[in-house]
Amino acid sequence: MSFIKLTNITKYFSDSSIPAVQSIDLSIEKGEILTLLGPSGCGKTTTLRMLAGFEHPSEGSIEIDGREVFNETNSLPPEKRGIGMVFQDYALFPHMTILKNVMFGLNKWTARERKARAHEVLQLVGLEDYATRYPAQLSGGQQQRVALARALAPKPHVVLMDEPFSNLDAGLREKMRYEVTAILRKANTTAIIVTHDQKDAFAVSDRVVVMKDGVIQQIAAPKEMYRCPKNCFVAQFVGKTNLLTGTMDDDLRHIHTHIGKVSLPQQWQERLETVKLSIRPEGCQLTDKGAYCGAVERVTYGGEYQELYIRLHNEPHLSEEPMLIYASIDQDVEVGAIVSFDIKPELVALVE
């Protein structure tokens, strides 16, 4: 049985006839790290707040560890749901030491138990030596670990994290993705994270839930979602891609497009007429005698690779977007150069 279960969750706000969240069904296993991913206004934070008890769904039910914490006739308050919350701004008390910040939510424990548990979780997050310091004396990454320690201290059923990496610079952000994940794994804690950043979601999650306009678009492990996006929105939101329209060959394995015939990773189950393809840029490899050939319209340096925008010879018109492919930074490619490339079938997907 699922550890956390949201059934037909819908949320209307009083000033709108359009639901902020619509008919969400979601099951989460114990110890799983799951991320709600999507653009601003997609309903991910509203979903998190309904799970926490800060917002009441208009319809549906929520179950945590076999106990129904919300239905249409009853709702448990946030403090009785067994939830630890890490806010975007960490919400640490500036006048309290780190130890007292972590002890703050342990009201029902004895003084000795509170102190022992606070030291235990500070050791878990690697900050036991900072117990007597104040939040202003810590870096952003250290403050985040304190906020996580405080959320873990009461031994909650689940930890909820709202945009936990958004206040960090790029270098620290990458480091904290690893550290937060390691802490959650070590504590064997179920966690639900909200973010609009695909890299955050993919780096920390067992599964990712992509949302748009209050509706779940796809639920999958990061690798599966990237390789096999369900629709055009997911394909574009979780990374750059080339979207092509074409017709399926009788062999159910090839698609005829404006750039030529493209192979699918495997034979499709049934014949479809018009289809859409997602082709990842790293699935296109420059080669001397590639199946596809065109002129480089634009080159963008991304640090780790070059982005090449290629206008194929058999599509000279500007009605179609140029193909985007990645090339290594040691390849000398200039605008106007004629290049050829092949497409790896494993990074081609049919999308809705």
What is the per-residue DSSP string for 290-305? -SEEEEEEEEEE-SSS
C-alpha span between 141 and 146 (Å, rounded): 9
- Give the number of other Cβ atoms within 10 Å of residue 73's Cβ: 5
C-alpha span between 216 and 44 (Å, rounded): 9
Residue 15 DSSP class: T
Q: What is the pLDDT of residue 270?
A: 86
Residue 16, pLDDT above cutoff 90: no
pLDDT, tens only, 266-314? 988 888 888 999 999 999 999 999 999 999 999 999 888 999 999 987 6
C-alpha span between 150 and 99 (Å, rounded): 9
Question: Helix, strand, coil shares of the chain as percentages rounded to 5?
Answer: 25, 35, 40
Residues 70, 119 contacting (CB under 8 angstroms)? no
Residues 6+ apart with CB under 8 A from 158: 3, 4, 28, 51, 64, 82, 83, 84, 189, 190, 191, 192
Alpha-carbon Rg for the chain in angstroms: 24
Task: Please report the domains of the chain, with CATH numbers, ordered by start residue.
Answer: 4-233 (3.40.50.300), 241-351 (2.40.50.140)
Specify the pTM: 0.92
Residue 316, pLDDT above cutoff 60: no
C-alpha dist (Å) from residue 204 to 182, 248, 263, 296: 9, 37, 32, 36
Taking alpha carbons only, the member of 351, 330, 331, 352 closest to residue 341 is 331
| Secondary element (H or E) of residue 172 | helix 170-186
Residue 331 DSSP class: S
Q: What is the pLDDT of residue 304?
A: 86
Instruction: Please state whether beta strands 284-286 and 338-343 pair in parallel, antiparallel, or not at all (unpaired).
Output: antiparallel
Sheet bearing 158-162, strands edge to edge: 83-86, 158-162, 190-195, 33-37, 207-212, 215-220
Res. 105 pLDDT band, cuts 50 70 90: confident
Residue 58, pLDDT above cutoff 60: yes
Average pLDDT, the chain: 93
With 0-12 / 13-18 / 19 or more C-beta atoms within 10 angstroms meaning exposed / middle / buried, residue 346 is: middle
E strand residue ranges, 186-291: 190-195, 207-212, 215-220, 242-248, 254-257, 260-263, 274-279, 284-286
